[in-house]
A and B are shown apart, each in its own frame.
Chain A
Amino acid sequence: MTEFWANVALGLDRALAADALLFCFIGVSVGMAVGVLPGLGALAAISLLLPITYYLEPTIALIMLAGIFYGAQYGGSTASILLNLPGTPSAAVTCLDGYPLARQGRAPLALFVTTINSVIGATVAIVLLMGFAPMLAEWALAFGAREYFAIMLLGLIAASTLSLGSPVKGLAMVAVGVALGLVGTDVNTGTFRFTFGFLELADGLSLIAVAMGLFGVAEILSNMGARRPARYDVRQITFRAMLPRRGEWGPVLKASARGSVIGSFIGILPGTGPGIASFMAYAGEKRLARDPSRFGKGALEGLSAPEAANNASVQAAFIPTLSLGIPGDAVIALLLGAMLLHGITPGPNLIANEPALFWGLIMSFWVGNLILLVLNIPLIRLWVRLLSVPYSLLYPAILLLICVGVYAGNNNVFDVYIVLIFGVVGYFMLQYGYPAAPLLLGFILGPMMEEHFRRAMLLGRGDPMTFVQSPLAASFLMAAALILTLSMLGVWRRWRQRGGRVPN
């Protein structure tokens, strides 16, 4: 126990240093801004700032990038409530009851409730993270190549099939991502693979260029020419109007507690992100409610539970990422990619080898959530005003930032063309419902999986049965097979029911 408190003190020491505070503030503010602005997500923002972090110390870089991630979850609810414009799948759940509240003239209350719930959800998950991640890491020290391969496969399958669109398309995109991750020099033999004579591809496709293309340029392309929402009058938002009435605190806080638990649990599972957490929390509340018909008309529970779940899952997602090196969703996979670029290998040894980084990062979550509380309650008007920046001026600026960011990554223009290719591909993927997030996840995990696969085959003397001879690896593979079977059964059943037609 004394060791635990010593670590907490170490982390606080790091997180409260001036540079850490500054970059934590920058991170959560950028996150809040991109969350508020529709059509620009945490993924695009993190990939934009990634090249800048080369100049920073790894801990500081991670504190800032992580801040963007959870900051964006706070900001996402603002546009959903005020304008019914969800930026992310989890924010779409916030629209369900948040927007009706705004139409009843209670937008300030909705903003207040989502903020409070975000803080509660995050708090629960950070406490779990502090207790759980070191334990999990100790357990994972026994992992060998086959266990890693199996759990990564489980993560990829869970991430692609448990998402909200078509599981077949999700799986296809994971596989495409793995394939794209293979481009470059094979580490074992030095053979060039899929480089087509481009020396620039010898180190593989640039993570930054792929992410910016798929999430930056593709988003811009699909938002261009779209209908613009009306502005929202900030004068309506006063602190008095924000506070819930006396009888409303109870249901809000109870729903928040339930949401936090669901969100934390889902966040810990590899491969599941905030979108699923929000949907499950919403469905749970609706089932529990005495009068489910209130939902969709401004039920406070319908706003609270998903918001708490969403933020809890985001913080809890750091548990498998930091202790096993297995990211839960695409955003956190990008953070993992950032760690690798900084020469840090996330995994069971991280906590022991880099205690200041691990504990500093976790303690910065407290700092960041506190800053977000201030940004969201006293300063909310500022962010609402941001919604009135015309998109027609915003996107050229974003595009320019993408260009510089990508160029700065490797100091060559080749990557700008890669961004263009992935931007166009990503645009068509969006049009036809092929999700880009699993692709990025596969792209980052693919090379690691190949390494582990080949090493396991070597150690197992060429017998593929080696993967089921380890009880741990076997149980991960079983879980993966189970998820796969269930989702394919679902696809089949829907296919039959609809006379051969499948819903989008």
Chain B
Amino acid sequence: MNRLNRGELLAGLAVAGFGAFLSIKALDLNLGSMRRPGPGAVPLGVGLIVGVLGLVAALQGARQAAGALQPIRLRPLAAVALALIGFALLAETAGFVPAALFVVLVSGAGEMRDNWLALTLAGLALGMAGSALFIRLLGVPLPVLPPALGIF
């Protein structure tokens, strides 16, 4: 009964820590005066509020019965993170179509283990449709294919 709910406690403490970080960082800014609050005044106040609320949430959560929390699954997290980072690295250098294929395949791997053909086709189709819509029609400044190929 008196077991601490570790997850809830840590979550609350994380919020409180964010508040403390804000408040300390705000002290580097000019706080100004009552009459003319400076750029640091509101951040300091908000930081303190976040800190206090985080502590309350942590205290409250620590005594809460552990609910039916879903376990944190690493595979989806890793797949989505890798897909986004890949897009950021590839879009400007390798072009939109390769980046799109990478996003679809890598994020798809977060869940699916078969059906790679469908994913590849979807990635290529989305890459081409996306190029037409976003790059040709709306003028988003991205290359369609690797610029080094000199096709587009």
Contact = CB atoms under 8 A, between A and B. Distances in A.
* A pairs with B: yes
Interface of A: 52, 55, 166, 168-169, 171-172, 175-176, 178-179, 182, 186, 188-189, 191, 193-194, 217, 220-222, 224-225, 392-393, 395-397, 399-400, 403-404, 407-408, 411, 413, 416-417, 419-420, 423-424, 427-428, 431-432, 434, 446, 450, 453-454, 457-458, 461-464, 491, 495, 500-504
A228 B76 CA distance: 16
A413 B84 CA distance: 10
B128 interface: no
Given A189-B39, A458-B36, 10 more contacts: A176-B50, A194-B22, A396-B122, A396-B123, A399-B80, A400-B103, A403-B87, A413-B87, A416-B88, A504-B67
Contact of A397 (B54, B70, B104): B104
A77 B51 CA distance: 39
B85 interface: yes
A225 B73 contact: yes
A395 B11 CA distance: 27
Contact of B70 (A176, A411, A431, A458): A431
A399 B70 CA distance: 22
Given A172-B15, A175-B49, A462-B35, A423 B80 contact: yes
Nearest to B8: A432
A222 B80 CA distance: 11
A81 to B, nearest CB: 25
Contacts of A194: 22, 25, 43
A168 B56 contact: yes
Contact of A221 (B64, B77, B130): B77
A500 B15 contact: no
A136 B87 CA distance: 47
Interface in B83-102: 83-85, 87-89, 91-92, 96, 99-100
5 closest cross-chain pairs (CB), A and B: A462-B35, A462-B34, A172-B53, A224-B76, A186-B39
B134 A217 contact: no
Interface string B45-60: 0110110011011001
Given A217-B80, A408-B138, A434 B11 contact: yes
A168 to B, nearest CB: 5
Contacts of B112: 392
Contacts of B92: 413
B103 A179 contact: no
Interface string B21-33: 0100100011001
Contacts of B118: 393
A439 B39 CA distance: 21
B50 A172 contact: yes
Contacts of A500: 63
Given A175-B53, A182-B42, A434-B15, A396 B103 contact: yes
B86 to A, nearest CB: 9
Contact of B119 (A55, A396, A434): A396
B76 A179 contact: no
B57 A168 contact: yes
Given A403-B91, A454-B42, A179 B111 contact: no
Interface string B115-147: 100110011001000100010001111100000
B43 A179 contact: yes
Contacts of B36: 454, 457-458, 462
B104 A504 contact: no
Contacts of A169: 57
A191 B26 CA distance: 12
A166 B87 CA distance: 36
A493 B26 CA distance: 35
Contact of B60 (A52, A168, A392): A168
